[in-house]
Chain A
Amino acid sequence: MIVFAQNGWLIAGGICAVIGVAVVVIGLFLWSTYNGLVEKRNRYKNAFSQIDVQLKRRYDLIPNLVEVAKGYMAHEKDTLEAVIAARNTAISAQKAASSNPGDPSAMKNLASSESALGGTLSRLMMVSEAYPDLKANQNMMQLQEELTSTENKVTFARQGYNDSVTVYNTTREQFPAVVFAASLGFQQAELWELDEKEAEEARARPKIEF
């Protein structure tokens, strides 16, 4: 009995040690996967905040543009109002998306309201072709220029966001993250899909490898 007790304690110790080592190895592995996920999620959220900065700038420019255009094209009231309405919808979509970047419904909503806004803006530009005075207006030209440049920046920031989202989603779908990601609240993040023209450009780019 006493001999057994000695052995019993030793066996117990051995089991403790085995469990301990197993817990450490598995725990550290899971922990680092978890941290990797947190970091990558943070990265795409940060990338979204860059889009945010540019979108806000764009929304600030639009009322000025409409204000200038109003003076020249009073009977295109509908077009102008459509731009303002689309802008307001886009702003609320942007607010929703920025409070939870990557959320599928918020991102889809933002993408669609942004493309609606783009549509009304390009219609405004088309209509303004008929007003040479407006086209020659210094303010108008400058605003248009700024708008285009901001749009380019939005596109660039979106590329960055999509890159980070892709990295996050890939990690999330790999083992072991795939086992626990969903239950710990790591949702699949939604890309901001490129439209036809942008996708074309992206395909044409050479792949850079180091």
Chain B
Amino acid sequence: MDFFQNQDKARTKTKVLVFYFGLAISSMIILIYIVIACALNANSSGKEAIEANWFHPEVLLFVTIGVTSVVGLASLFKVSEIRRGGGEQVASMLGGRRISSATTDQHERVVMNVVEEMALASGVPVPPVYVLDQEPGINAFAAGFTPNDAVIGVNRGTIEIMNRAELQGVIAHEFSHIFNGDMRLNVRLIGWLFGIQMLAIIGYYIFRFASISSSGRNNKNGNQIAIAIFVGGLVIMVVGFLGQICARMIQAAISRQREYLADASAVQFTRDPNTISGALKVIGASAGSSAIKIPTAQQASHMFFAEGVSSAFGGLSTHPPIADRIRKIDPQFDGNYSKYMQHRYQRPVAEKPQPKAARKDPAEMLKNFPIPGMGGEGFGPMGEMTKNMPGAGMPLSPAAIIAGVGMLDDDHVQHSQGMIDSIDPLIKSAVHDPFSARCVVYSLLLDDKEAIRKKQLSVIQQAEGQTTVAETLKLLPYVKRLPQSQRLPCLEIVQSTLSELSLEQYKRFGYSVIELVKADQHIDLFEFILQHLILSHLDRRFGLRPPAKVRFHQAKQIKADIEMVLAVLVYVGHADEKEAAKAFRLASESIGEKVPFELMPKSKCNFKLLDNGLERINEAAPQLKKQILHAAATAVAADERITISEAELFRAFAESIECPVPPILATE
């Protein structure tokens, strides 16, 4: 099961969900209907009506419309609210505080580094990290609608108690929720739960209203109506409450399954079963320590790493018991946590991970997981990817690139760790600071020609003020010395740092970037990539661009756009026209459908069209995206050489169509 299937699956899973919730809602309708029919029968059971009439179509219609519209409206409302606010809204609902990328707090720094490395290694934009300061327990969550608006949240307890390896296990678990499309499912769950809850709330208010208004009246007819309302409210409240229990059980059942899957993925991702089982043992050792105190947690309880809201009844637990989860990973575990904790405290907590012991075969580690698609031949896409990729080397086979989408691999994590470490310390701290991160981007865009540079500096001066100009000039020599291979990782970090700006500040930044790029009347490839990578992602984060919707299911619908992207890729990678044509042919054949793709002449390619093309391809269905990505990978790998520009462009392409591809490295 690969990333694209998972994305599709998340949609079909949603259908199953709709079915179950539909079942819950129809039983609620029937219940309310039966109560009303009973009441009507009881009332007319005088002399006339000898036989009770159980059929009241107008009542049934009335109840159906009422219940479905209330539940539907409320859940639609909730989902759209979350979709608009993204993961950040969920995090703030839970009382999270965003960790500043410039933080100097030791614990916060470690978790930021872990998240950053994993994000770079898997090719997702670095998600913002929230910490729940009020929560001493050990827990974590991931929220958002797509990988691009995901956030990761951790409890204060988690970052203070866990060591780096365990933290890696927890974060890998959360990343796998992001890749498995669980977040989309989670948002739906929250929405439907809210809708059903709404019914109970309304019932409660009607009930209250009736009891207040009936107390002041003695008119007989009025009283009768009041009693009817009173009973009606009570019924709606009780039925809503029952529905809520059903909904919670559905939520819990789905969630438990996803937790096992995420645990399994975390083992795969870190290639070290001790990371995740260690984290689980720490939770197990401090019984009940995963509890979340904030009352809003109930709705989101299925998003957490471990049981956040405890329930007396197993059917309502959103997570499998800790001991079961540990035994799935570590069958030898005897249930004795204290031994593990003793062992743990004797070991100093290392900021850097210790060298790993010999790696185990992932298939061996996961044989206890009864999850379809995880075991079996080649051990899923992971096996495919690692087979084709010795170490963190570059996978030149398109199949391996595709298999790596939505995957995390320890080799890649270590590679990004090394990459971040090797960045000049001054630049490294600059890209983590919102003030200086803008200046890094500005100095990347400064032209070498004196006249143009002067013009550019005056743009910055006008939009941002003198201090920004000074900082830009201070960083300039360091930025110019930055090895080409480090530019992209730096930009990825800048992207996440800048999401901390205020909207006003971001608008000024976006304006300056566009003006700087335009200054020399000419856009080069790097400028395009920079502008596209930074602005298109951040525009979405700041809500200036709507999230993409699936509109295209067939390659021929977006033929011109695919042609454009492939043409640019082959022209960037191949100086020779003939080789470019050959690469294009290979790439377009790999799409597989009978669409006559044509390579347009170099002169017809321009960035405006490329930009449009990327936007439209992003609206393709996951399976179509997979084909296009495969074609793009074929185009890049056709001549078995990958230049830095090619690698950068490919990355920008993958990111703009929201496919997390582990970085491919230039061969020269």
Seen from chain A, the residues whose Cβ lies within 8 Å of a Cβ on chain B are 2, 4-6, 8-9, 11-13, 15-17, 19-21, 23-24, 27-28, 32, 35, 38-39, 42-43, 45-47, 49-50, 52-54, 56-57, 149, 152-153, 155-157, 159-161, 163-164, 167, 201, 204-206, 208-210
Contact = CB atoms under 8 A, between A and B. Distances in A.
B433 A153 contact: yes
Contacts of B81: 32, 35
Given A20-B66, A28-B73, A156-B434, A12 B229 contact: yes
Contact of B43 (A5, A13, A35, A57): A5
A173 to B, nearest CB: 18
Given A24-B73, A205-B462, A46 B97 contact: yes
A2 B229 contact: no
Nearest to B105: A53
B44 interface: yes
Given A8-B225, A13-B232, A208 B433 contact: no
A35 B228 CA distance: 34
Contact of B202 (A24, A155, A159, A208): A24
Nearest to A50: B100
B93 A35 contact: yes
Nearest to B70: A24
B27 interface: no
Contact of B229 (A15, A21, A52, A206): A15
Interface of B: 36, 39-40, 43-44, 46, 48, 59, 62, 66, 69-70, 73-74, 77, 81, 85, 88-89, 92-93, 96-98, 100, 102-104, 198, 201-202, 205-206, 209, 221, 224-225, 228-229, 232-233, 236, 433-436, 462-467, 470-471, 500-505, 507-508, 510-511, 544
B503 A163 contact: yes
A53 B104 contact: yes
Given A5-B44, A12-B225, A49-B100, A157 B202 contact: no
A198 B224 CA distance: 69
Contact of B465 (A15, A35, A42, A201): A201
Contact of B62 (A6, A17, A35, A164): A17
B463 A206 contact: yes
Given A9-B40, A57-B104, A160-B505, A39 B74 contact: no
Nearest to B92: A42
Contacts of B43: 2, 5-6, 9
Contact of A38 (B46, B92, B236): B92
A47 to B, nearest CB: 6
12 contacts: A15-B225, A20-B66, A24-B202, A27-B202, A38-B93, A39-B92, A42-B96, A49-B97, A152-B435, A160-B434, A160-B501, A160-B502
B574 to A, nearest CB: 38
A48 to B, nearest CB: 10
A163 B508 CA distance: 13
Contacts of A149: 471
A13 B81 CA distance: 31
A73 B59 CA distance: 91
A205 B465 contact: yes
B363 to A, nearest CB: 43
Nearest to A25: B73
A208 B509 CA distance: 10
A200 B73 CA distance: 49
Contacts of B466: 201
Q: Is the interface of B mostly helix, strand, loop or mixed?
A: helix
Contacts of B70: 20, 24
A95 B201 CA distance: 41
Given A2-B46, A164-B502, A201-B466, 16 more contacts: A8-B225, A9-B36, A12-B225, A12-B232, A16-B236, A19-B202, A27-B198, A42-B96, A42-B97, A53-B102, A152-B435, A152-B471, A157-B435, A206-B463, A208-B508, A210-B507
Given A8-B228, A57-B104, A201-B465, A32 B77 contact: yes
B113 to A, nearest CB: 16
A204 to B, nearest CB: 8
Given A15-B225, A50-B500, A208-B508, A20 B202 contact: yes
A24 B435 CA distance: 44
A174 to B, nearest CB: 17
Contacts of B96: 42
Contacts of A155: 467
Contacts of B198: 24, 27
Given A28-B74, A153-B433, A164-B502, A16 B206 contact: yes
B462 to A, nearest CB: 6
Contacts of B103: 53
B606 to A, nearest CB: 23
The 10 A-B pairs with the shortest beta carbon distances in the complex, nearest first, are A12-B228, A163-B502, A42-B92, A160-B502, A156-B435, A152-B467, A163-B504, A153-B435, A208-B507, A46-B98
A60 to B, nearest CB: 8
Contacts of B433: 153
Contacts of A163: 502-505
Contact of B66 (A2, A17, A28, A57): A17
B89 A39 contact: yes
Taking each of B198, B229, B465, which has the highest tally of chain A beta carbons within 10 Å of its own beta carbon? B465
Nearest to B205: A23
Contact of A19 (B88, B209, B510): B209
Contacts of A43: 92
A99 to B, nearest CB: 11
Contact of A159 (B59, B229, B505): B505
A43 B77 CA distance: 22
A9 B227 CA distance: 10
A94 B507 CA distance: 29
Contacts of B500: 46, 50, 160
Contact of B100 (A13, A38, A53, A208): A53
Contacts of A8: 221, 224-225, 228
Contact of B221 (A4, A21, A153, A201): A4
A2 B232 contact: no
A6 B41 CA distance: 10
A19 B206 contact: yes
Nearest to B47: A2
A56 B103 CA distance: 10
Contacts of A56: 104
Contacts of A13: 36, 59, 62, 228, 232
Contacts of A5: 43-44, 224
A206 B502 CA distance: 16
Contacts of B40: 6, 9
A175 B39 CA distance: 42
